[in-house]
């Protein structure tokens, strides 16, 4: 970020580190979802597995929202971070739509 947007202010660094941690949680939840989707079973277990996946992807979306909401800096850095997080959130939202459709099958 410093290379492309210049020297960061202390508040920006703290907000960015917090955001990185929250997005890391989001990535973890998405990885859990992928692992579970790779090992789905039919029958009752399928329903439970899809509930888990839906919960984890929803949590990933919440984490993304938390990053944006808690980013306590204004200016160029917030615009850049918000744009990046919104891209991640859109992809997770699309993934959740596919998962919801798959779960109904």
Question: Does residue 1 fall inside a structural domain?
Answer: no
Question: Does residue 2 fall inside a structural domain?
Answer: no
Q: What is the dihedral of CA 8, 9, 14, 15, to 10 degrees?
A: -80
Question: Does residue 3 fall inside a structural domain?
Answer: no
Question: Does residue 97 fall inside a structural domain?
Answer: yes
Question: Does residue 64 fall inside a structural domain?
Answer: yes
User: How many domains does the chain fold into?
Assistant: 1
Range of the domain at 50: 8-104
Number of other residues whose CB lies within 10 A of the CB of residue 102: 14
Residue segments in the chain with a per-residue pLDDT below the cut of 70: 1-10, 44
Helical residues (DSSP H) of the chain, grouped into ranges: 2-5, 10-38, 44-70, 76-104
Question: Does residue 58 fall inside a structural domain?
Answer: yes
Tens-place pLDDT, residues 50-71: 999 999 999 999 998 888 887 7
For residue 69, give the nearest of 87, 56, 81 by alpha carbon: 81
Question: Does residue 17 fall inside a structural domain?
Answer: yes
């Amino acid at each position: 970020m410093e290379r492309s947007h210049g020297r960061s202010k202390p508040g920006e660094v703290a907000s960015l580190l917090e955001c990185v941690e929250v997005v890391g949680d989001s990535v973890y939840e998405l990885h859990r979802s992928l692992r579970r989707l790779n090992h789905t079973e039919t029958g009752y277990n399928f329903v439970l597995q899809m509930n888990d996946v839906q919960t984890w992807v929803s949590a990933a979306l919440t984490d993304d929202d938390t990053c944006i909401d808690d980013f306590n800096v204004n200016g160029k850095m917030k615009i850049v971070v918000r744009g990046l997080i919104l891209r991640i959130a859109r992809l997770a939202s699309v993934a959740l739509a596919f998962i919801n459709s798959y779960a109904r099958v």
